[in-house]
Amino acid sequence: MENYLSTEFARSGPLLLAEALNKGRYKTAQRVFELMTPEQVVDEVKNSGLRGRGGAWFPTGIKWSFMPKPPLKGPSYLVINADEGEPGTFKDRAIMEKDPHLLLEGILIGSFAIRAETAFLYIRGEYLTAHDALATAIAELEQAGFLGDAVFGTKHRLRIVLHRGAGAYICGEETALLNSLEGRRGEPRPKPPFPAVYGAFGRPTSVNNVETLANVPAIVEHGAAWFKSVGTAQAPGHLLFGISGAVERPGCYELPLGTTARELVEKHAGGVKGGKKMRAFIPGGASTGFLPPEKLDVAMDPESLKKEGTMLGTGGIIVIPEEISVVDAARVFSRFFRHETCGQCSPCREGSAWSDQVIARFQRGEGQREDFTLLEEIMRGSKQRTICVFPEAFAGPLGSAIKHFRGEFESAMTTQQAPHA
């Protein structure tokens, strides 16, 4: 299977509409609007096994099938989650900056599938360059009649509202994003009700990630069978793997799901920078935590990583070189998660701050033996005990650091409490 997500990534600026049309873009969307029914689109995506690329890996077609069917009692919305903020993740940015029309064609088809006449594209505030590329591309579509009151000249209507966030990692959580879109604090909502019932502005809403929607035109064009021909049985298709940290050739690599971390790091990214040794790697963004180099042969798909006690997350691999201690790296994350928790639930607000304070002590060489139990209990007291899964996120690097690299923490304890030989 040829690459279908990253064909334009080598460009310096965004692919504009005229050139995109020359490459056959929007033919699929036009066919959808002119000839297909929403059910057919949903079925095709459902059959393809496409799962959400934002990190939760929920089947996209099933998510869409929760949306109301006629007779509709009011508007439904598509909300595009472009609030990419997971450290180690930069794939959505690449799509939006280089190939905004790939995403927009996915939005057209997705909106049609769930009968939405308005799509809100929520992009993180810092992605101003991507925002500008999208704004241009949306204007091009309006000009071309691909948006508006008669999409492709059909009776279908669609408008896309481009909306900038303002700096909050938690808004990547879909219900926090909806609150933020509504002009509120980005605090996740208790569920139920789920967005498909009560979403943006109280209306049924499907929230989909950028890369997920970027997969949709190809799936509808080539069919579910084509899509399933690569990747794993449970997670078919290509993924944009981001590889960063201490590697020779960091970047975004489009490869089938299930490719091993070793292939990604050693073959595609050229191995550890400067030929050094690897101390640890993070498989799929900050919240997936640390794995030791012995685990490099793990296949990068949700199921294989779950077996290793972690997650695929966003597929953003981060390589930590030998000269950096995992204690220091863990502190970067604990500080980050403390900074980013919304703070509404007591265990998460206090637990993220407390654990950061404890890790900071280890960093100063003031760790204590009891701190291991304490950190375990902070995680136990907050995981699955809050409105959203943020505690799972901060516990990812924390728990894995202690599990796989306990020795580094032990040598960062106060001397009088050093481990017995």
Partner 1 sequence: MSGSGQAKAEGLPQALVQALPEALAAELRALPLRYPQRRGALLPILHRLQEWRGHLDPADMRLAGEIVGISAAEVFSVLSFYTMYRQRPVGRFPIGVCRNISCWVNGSDKLVETVKQELGIAPGEITADGLFSLQEVECLGSCGTAPCLEVESRYFENLTPDKVRALLARLRAGASDPAAAIRSAQNEA
Partner 2 sequence: MPELTIDGRKVEVAPGTNLIEAARKLAIEIPYYCYHPALAPVGSCRMCQVEILDAGKPPRVTIACRTEASNGLNVSTTGKDCVAARAATLEFLLANHPLDCPICDKAGECDLQDFTYRHGSGVGRFTEPKRATLKHEPIGDHILLDQERCILCTRCVRFMDEYAKSPSLVVAGRGDRNVIAIFPGEPIHSNYEGNLADICPVGALTLKEFRFKSRVWDLDTEESVCTGCDRGCSILLDTKRNKTLRVRPRVNLQVNGHFICDQGRFGLLDALNPVGREELGWVNGARVTAAEAASALATTLAAERGKWLVLLSARLTCEELLLAKAALRPLAKQLAYVPVAAAGGDEILFTGRRAANQKAIERLGITALSEEAAANLLAEPTTVGLLSFDGALAARLMSQLPAAAKSRRLAIVDVIAKAVMANAAVMANAVLKPPHGAELFVPGTLFSEKDGTFLNVGGVLQRARRAQRWPQGTVSESQLLLQVAASGGVSLAELTAKPDLTFALLEALGQPGAMLAQLPDDGLKLAAATEVAVA
Which residues of this chain interact with partner 2, rule CB under 8 A? Answer: 168, 185, 190, 338-347, 349-354, 357-358, 361, 370, 374, 377, 380-382, 384-387
Nearest CB to partner 1, comparing residues 350 and 376: 350
Smallest distance, Å, CB 25 to partner 1?
25
**Residue 135, binding choice from partner 1, partner 2, none, Cβ under 5 to 8 Å by partner class:** none
Nearest CB to partner 1, comparing residues 227 and 362: 362
Q: Which residues pair with 164 in a beta bridge?
A: 123
Both tokens of 342, joined, read 């919304």
Per DSSP, the residues of 278-328 read EEEEESSSGGG--B-GGGTT-BSSHHHHHHTTS--TT-EEEEEETTS-HHH
Nearest CB to partner 1, comparing residues 186 and 351: 186
Smallest distance, Å, CB 77 to partner 1?
8
Smallest distance, Å, CB 122 to partner 2?
18
- Per the CB < 8 A criterion, the answer to whether 298 and 365 are in contact is no
Helix (H) or strand (E) holding 119: strand 118-123
Cα separation, 311 vs 86, in Å, equals: 13
Smallest distance, Å, CB 101 to partner 1?
20
**Residue 126, binding choice from partner 1, partner 2, none, Cβ under 5 to 8 Å by partner class:** partner 1
Cα separation, 421 vs 416, in Å, equals: 13
Query: Beta strands 251-256 and 77-82: pairing type?
Result: unpaired
**Residue 324, binding choice from partner 1, partner 2, none, Cβ under 5 to 8 Å by partner class:** partner 1
Smallest distance, Å, CB 37 to partner 1?
26
Nearest CB to partner 2, comparing residues 26 and 394: 394
Helix (H) or strand (E) holding 80: strand 77-82
**Residue 124, binding choice from partner 2, partner 1, none, Cβ under 5 to 8 Å by partner class:** partner 1
- Per the CB < 8 A criterion, the answer to whether 159 and 117 are in contact is yes
Say which residues have a Cβ less than 8 Å from residue 50's Cβ, sequence separation at least 6. Answer: 59, 60, 61, 212, 215, 216, 219, 227, 236, 237
Nearest CB to partner 2, comparing residues 130 and 375: 375
Nearest CB to partner 2, comparing residues 234 and 344: 344
Nearest CB to partner 1, comparing residues 219 and 269: 269
- Per the CB < 8 A criterion, the answer to whether 282 and 291 are in contact is yes
Helix (H) or strand (E) holding 28: helix 27-35
Contact footprint for partner 1 (CB under 8 A):
75, 84-90, 92-93, 118, 124-129, 161, 163-169, 180-186, 200-201, 203, 242-246, 250-252, 282, 286, 316, 318-321, 324, 329, 332-333, 336, 339-340, 342
